[in-house]
Structure 1
């Protein structure tokens, strides 16, 4: 979400669950969250991460719900695939700022 002068006041980060690439060492979600926040804080030191958007398009509905729930428990942030589940939970998180 952008505030005055187009500087972010909050951020969500988006990721696609990776499978089938055992030869690559991928960063954890905490590292991706921290990187997203570091970049946003270049222009607004008070920026916060308020949610996660997952691309679960290659997963079944049950697997998508399961990975969203697991990621939410891991990060303590609302997690949705906005195309499958809508973005209401992310909007609610933004409204708390």
Structure 2
């Protein structure tokens, strides 16, 4: 039996994304995995502080605590701040749709 577990760390921008497979010791937290994934070097425009503080999730479920230990096969996702409120975006799309039929 191996002393390591396999996890993935994902981050995406509109124009590119990165999925990093890691072997980490049991008990590794989601934040520790993000920092080990080297995303700050792959996305220098985000800055290292961003990856130390950004909200995280596992398979689309936001984490309340980033020190949650990972399980075999988990995919940690690094979330970016929303550029626009989802309600405002829906409202804007609805208004654009109405304008097409005038």
TM-score (norm 2): 0.26
Which structure shows the bigger proportion of residues in strand conformation? 2
Q: Which has the larger radius of gyration?
A: 2
User: Normalising by the residue count of structure 1, what TM-score does the alignment of the two structures yield?
Assistant: 0.27
